[in-house]
Amino acid sequence: MRLPFLTVALTVTGVCLSLAGEAQTPAPAANPLDVIPDNMPFDVPYGAPISLDRAEAAIAAAVAEAKKHHWKLNVAVVDSGANLVAFQRMDGAQLASIAVSEHKARTAASFRRETKAFEDAIQLKQNYYALTLDGVIASRGGIPLIEGGKIIGAIGCSGGTGSQDEAACKVGAATVK
């Protein structure tokens, strides 16, 4: 007779402990993508397109930086409408990176942000939706060229590692700021 009573007592205790555990479990965090920011991110207006002379100066600076480190890069500059203005392929630079350098520049101009933002979104934040956006390349080395608070174009470098591409591009972009 004691065995059924013990079974019932243990069952009731187990249910109570189970309910107590549920009450203490915190609610799952809200999806961070559901947060509505007060301001528009990356809201940099488009300006007049970069001139050929300035585009070539940005490329020359990026190439000079690459040469200091013995990197072989492709460097492209697009205007504020993401149209190619100038391009240079260093001797021995990887052929596949011709199109990649242009893609990085176009992405940076079109989306008004460094391409590293897309790399971070995928690798660090697991925001895989970024892979579904047309025209995105999620690899660092694409940087908007901003003058007077407006995007006049973008520079893209490719052929090295992402960090090498980015370092050379930053030097090129610095000629505009």
Is residue 149 domain-resident? Answer: yes
- Predicted pLDDT at 28: 61
Q: Out of 5-9, 45-49, 93-97, 166-170, which region has the weakest mean confidence (pLDDT)? A: 5-9
Q: What is the DSSP-derived secondary structure letter of residue 78?
A: E
Is residue 168 domain-resident? Answer: yes
Is residue 23 domain-resident? Answer: no
Is residue 46 domain-resident? Answer: no
d(CA 34, CA 71): 42
Domains identified in the chain, total number: 1
Mean pLDDT of 84-103: 98
3: pLDDT confidence band, cut at 50, 70 and 90? low
Is residue 100 domain-resident? Answer: yes
Q: Cα–chain-centroid distance for residue 28?
A: 27
Is residue 37 domain-resident? Answer: no
Contacts 24+ apart (CB under 8 A), 51-59: 52/85, 52/86, 54/152, 54/175, 54/176, 55/79, 55/85, 55/86, 55/153, 56/86, 57/175, 58/145, 58/155, 58/172, 58/173, 58/175, 58/176, 59/86, 59/87, 59/88, 59/155, 59/172
37: pLDDT confidence band, cut at 50, 70 and 90? confident
Q: Which domain holds residue 90?
A: 52-174
Is residue 123 domain-resident? Answer: yes
Is residue 101 domain-resident? Answer: yes
pTM: 0.80
pLDDT in tens, 41-86: 788 989 999 999 999 999 999 999 999 999 999 999 999 999 999 9
| CATH code for the domain of 138 | 3.30.450.150
